[in-house]
Amino acid sequence: MRYKLVAGNWKMHGSLAENQALLEAIVPATRDLARVDVAVCVPFPYLQQVRDLLAGTHVMWGAQDASRHAKGAFTGEVSADMIAEFGARYVIVGHSERRTYHQESDALVGAKCQAVLGAGLTPIVCVGETLEERERGATEEVVARQLEAVVDAVGAAGLSRCVLAYEPVWAIGTGKTAAPEQAQEVHAFLRRRVAERDSAVAEGLTILYGGSVKGASARALFSMPDIDGGLIGGASLVSEEFVAICKAAQA
């Protein structure tokens, strides 16, 4: 049986003082959960602080993006190796905010995924449809295309070292959580698509749901057979909410 994973995506939020207070609340409150992994993905400048605060604790941590390049004249870019040097575990790749605001293509997301795996880190690869795409019945086509770009880049063996996150764009930061059955349908579809390549990889693949998850909505989502936890935005900045979500993920 797959473990659950609850990963906070702080996005562009935080300060040294706020991060410390948040982590000091989250660490003890999530210490003894059964079969739940907990992680936070933080802005680059806070990697060192988070490493120091989380050293020796059960809470894992990571970044929110990485360059496709290993090194070179790429002003403003941060390589996966640099992130790995801090001792990170995860890097979010292909979040819809990067696809939309930074024009990241499916091919670039695949290349970034490859770079992250090459650094020995675990990519949390995001896929998801816009409202317009859902309304015209293109959800499966869109997430399949996004998934295939990753599999083309890293193969089924590479995918087995990734976490997948289904994040319907219309549910991100809007307060409109997908209904558990609605999310389950897409998660099951994604797992079936992976199974067409490799059934063992599909069975072992952790697929998170992201999009306005709150303490109150988490348990119903996480009780679905193909939903293995959550990628949490806004609620990961509020310790009581994030802890409630982590508790809802317990077996």
Q: Is 234 in the site for ligand G3H (CB under 6 A)?
A: yes
9 among annotated binding-site residues: yes
Per the DSSP assignment, residues forming a β-bridge with 36 are 4
Q: Is 84 in the site for ligand G3H (CB under 6 A)?
A: no
Catalytic residue among 97, 104, 133, 167, which?
167
As to burial, measured by CB atoms within 10 angstroms (0-12 exposed, 13-18 middle, 19+ buried), residue 56 is: exposed
Q: Is 213 in the site for ligand G3H (CB under 6 A)?
A: yes
**226: helix, strand or coil:** coil
Query: Which candidate, 2, 65, 7, places its Cα nearest to that of 230?
Result: 7
Pairing of strands 163-166, 60-63: unpaired
187 is catalytic: no
Q: Is 172 in the site for ligand G3H (CB under 6 A)?
A: yes
Q: Is 212 in the site for ligand G3H (CB under 6 A)?
A: yes
Selected from 167, 226, 228, 241, the binder of ligand G3H by CB under 6 A is: 167
Closest distance to ligand G3H from the beta carbon of 44 (Å):
16
d(CA 148, CA 154): 10
Selected from 5, 50, 205, 231, the binder of ligand G3H by CB under 6 A is: 231
Closest distance to ligand G3H from the beta carbon of 82 (Å):
22
141 is catalytic: no
The pair of three-digit structure tokens given for residue 165, joined into one six-digit string: 């996150």
Q: Is 19 in the site for ligand G3H (CB under 6 A)?
A: no
19 among annotated binding-site residues: no
Pairing of strands 36-41, 4-9: parallel
Number of H helices, E strands in the chain: 11, 8
Q: Name the residue nearer to ligand G3H (CB basis): 8 or 110.
A: 8
CA angle, 228 as apex, 224 and 230 as ends, to 5°?
Answer: 105
Q: Is 146 in the site for ligand G3H (CB under 6 A)?
A: no
Query: Which candidate, 248, 245, 223, places its Cα nearest to that of 236?
Result: 245
Q: Is 208 in the site for ligand G3H (CB under 6 A)?
A: no
Interface residues with ligand G3H (CB under 6 A) are 9, 95, 167, 172-173, 210-213, 231-235
Give the residue numbers annotated as catalytic, written as ranges: 95, 167
